[in-house]
């Protein structure tokens, strides 16, 4: 298999350390765990961070000489049996070291609370489905949580903590392209930790120097940009202003939009955390723009749109995926933003996998999420678990080398949701192959860890302050 750098680097073979340091808010939760053989084991529920330290309970008091001799002889015999049998242990079994698969979840918890909450719920649901299905390699999957914040340097530090302190074998996240790029190149690539981001969409990640350890369950913005341009044209605009965040995501989507637009445009870059964008708004409108294309997070978009309306600079807007937030239309008002369109990720119409996932999510949490990149979290988590089961190992390179296999077939087609995940684990544990159809999209990855196919959605804000999905545009190659 060829990596995006033309070579593959061996990953860490075992990472879980006994007696992990745990944040005070992440205390272990223990439950009865039922494995695929039907027997019960004591294990971690997988919803909170956990780790067990091996302990030796020595004799109480001061043992005599004969007691110590028996103890040493017993230890010697046990060691001899271990060494004698070690030569026959398969490489895959050696690499997992008898430890449970541990997956890190690395996202920005400081951003929108609804987005962080729903994405954490999707992650927890995936772990629950895996463990209900028997776990990975007959053991419950455990987790560790990291807060990437909105700062790439913090994301890198948290990724290192997850790898070096928590001992994770794989990571779901980060959510932003600006953080994913340095995490991939400075942490997970050199350490050999397979990582699947669910919402980092910058085209720059396609060529990241990550030793082929970075994958994505969200389409690259080379696909969203043309759809965003199509929406602007369909709305009757021939000249637009464009304001984008000056980071890997903002520049990538702005460039993809500009390449597909081929009409007058005035693009202006902004820093993310600004109190006012008046100067940039006026600069973007200077060429006679009819509408503003907004490529920014919801918080920046609220400030930007409010100032544009209040100062009479723009009345019409088109939004990228970062602004698909109910909080935006509620802050500005449905009377002012109702009927404004945007783009973002979408699920294949009529997808059985999506239907099964939605039923499971509602059963667990009561209602569906309305924000973007939630199903993608679930798919990233399930794909890593299935790849580890297929590899028969928790080693980083072993998991990485099976990620493409579990999502592209040939094999038994399995779908998202508790039944599909359990079936996938059963087939893989028996030596079979699976083709996992995700809740959001297929996880059919190319040589760069990018999706080969998927969908970009077109949505709009409504007058009663909701988000309404309009249609899905198919991408495939």
How is the chain split into domains, by residue range? 30-50+95-218+351-454, 221-345+460-476
What CATH number has the domain spanning 221-345+460-476?
Answer: 3.40.50.2300
Task: Please check the confidence at residue 97 and state whether its pLDDT lies above 70.
Answer: no
pLDDT category at 111 given cuts 50, 70, 90 is: low
pLDDT in tens, 37-84: 333 333 333 333 333 233 223 323 333 333 333 333 344 333 333 333
Read off the pLDDT of each residue in 88-107 and give the average, rounded to a whole number. Answer: 64
Read off the pLDDT of each residue in 362-371 and give the average, rounded to a whole number. Answer: 94
Tell me if the domain spanning 30-50+95-218+351-454 has CATH number 3.40.50.800: no
Task: Please check the confidence at residue 14 and state whether its pLDDT lies above 70.
Answer: no
Task: Please check the confidence at residue 382 and state whether its pLDDT lies above 90.
Answer: yes
pLDDT at 349: 87
Which of 423 and 65 is assigned the larger pLDDT?
423
Task: Please check the confidence at residue 446 and state whether its pLDDT lies above 60.
Answer: yes
Task: Please check the confidence at residue 21 and state whether its pLDDT lies above 50.
Answer: no
Q: What's the pTM value of the predicted model, to 2 decimals? A: 0.80
Distance CA 245, CA 85 (A): 58
pLDDT category at 302 given cuts 50, 70, 90 is: very high
Task: Please check the confidence at residue 290 and state whether its pLDDT lies above 80.
Answer: yes
Range from 91-100, 108-117, 363-372 carrying the lowest mean pLDDT: 91-100
Q: Which residues contact 123 (CB under 8 A, 6 or more apart)?
A: 105, 143, 172, 377, 378, 381
pLDDT at 325: 92
Read off the pLDDT of each residue in 243-249 and give the average, rounded to a whole number. Answer: 97
Task: Please check the confidence at residue 29 and state whether its pLDDT lies above 50.
Answer: no
Distance CA 132, CA 105 (A): 19
């Amino acid at each position: 298999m060829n990596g995006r750098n033309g070579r593959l680097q061996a990953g860490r073979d075992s990472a879980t350390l006994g007696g992990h340091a745990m944040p005070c808010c992440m205390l272990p939760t223990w439950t009865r765990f039922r494995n695929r053989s039907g027997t019960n084991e004591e294990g971690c529920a997988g919803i909170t961070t956990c780790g067990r330290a091996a302990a030796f309970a020595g004799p109480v008091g001061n043992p005599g000489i004969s007691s110590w001799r028996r103890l040493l002889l017993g230890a010697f015999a046990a060691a001899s049996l271990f060494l004698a049998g070690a030569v026959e242990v398969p490489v895959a079994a050696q690499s997992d070291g008898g430890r449970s698969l541990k997956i890190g979840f690395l996202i920005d918890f400081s951003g929108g609370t609804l987005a962080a909450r729903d994405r954490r719920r999707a992650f927890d649901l995936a772990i629950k489905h895996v463990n209900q299905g028997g776990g990975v390699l007959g053991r419950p999957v455990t987790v560790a949580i990291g807060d990437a914040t909105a700062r790439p340097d913090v994301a890198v530090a948290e990724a290192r903590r997850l790898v070096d302190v928590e001992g994770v074998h794989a990571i779901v996240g980060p959510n932003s392209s600006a953080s994913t790029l340095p995490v991939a190149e400075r942490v997970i690539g050199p350490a050999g930790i397979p990582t699947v981001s669910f919402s980092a969409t910058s085209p720059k990640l396609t060529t990241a120097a990550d030793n082929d350890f970075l994958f994505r369950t969200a389409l690259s913005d080379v696909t969203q940009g043309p759809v965003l341009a199509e929406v602007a044209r369909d709305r009757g605009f021939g000249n637009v202003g464009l304001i984008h965040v000056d980071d890997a995501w903002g520049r990538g989507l702005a460039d993809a939009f500009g390449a597909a637009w081929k009409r007058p445009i005035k693009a202006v870059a902004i820093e993310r955390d600004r109190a006012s964008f008046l100067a940039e708004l006026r600069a973007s409108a200077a060429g006679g723009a009819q509408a503003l294309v907004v490529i920014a997070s919801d918080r920046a978009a609220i400030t930007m749109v409010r100032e544009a309306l209040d100062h009479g600079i723009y009345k019409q807007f088109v939004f990228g995926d970062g602004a698909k937030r109910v909080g935006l239309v509620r802050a500005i008002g449905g009377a002012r933003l109702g009927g404004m369109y945007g783009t973002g990720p979408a699920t294949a119409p009529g997808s059985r996998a999506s239907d099964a996932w939605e039923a499971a999510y509602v059963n667990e949490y009561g209602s569906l999420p309305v924000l973007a990149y939630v199903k993608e979290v679930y798919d990233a988590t399930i794909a890593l678990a299935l790849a580890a089961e297929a590899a028969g190992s928790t080693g980083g390179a072993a998991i990485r080398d099976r990620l493409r296999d579990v999502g592209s077939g040939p094999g038994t087609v399995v779908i998202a949701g508790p039944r599909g995940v359990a079936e996938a684990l059963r087939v893989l544990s028996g030596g079979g192959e699976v083709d996992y159809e995700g809740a959001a999209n297929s996880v059919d990855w190319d040589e760069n860890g990018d999706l080969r196919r998927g969908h970009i959605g077109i949505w709009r804000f409504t007058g009663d302050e909701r988000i309404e999905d309009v249609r899905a545009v198919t991408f495939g190659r």
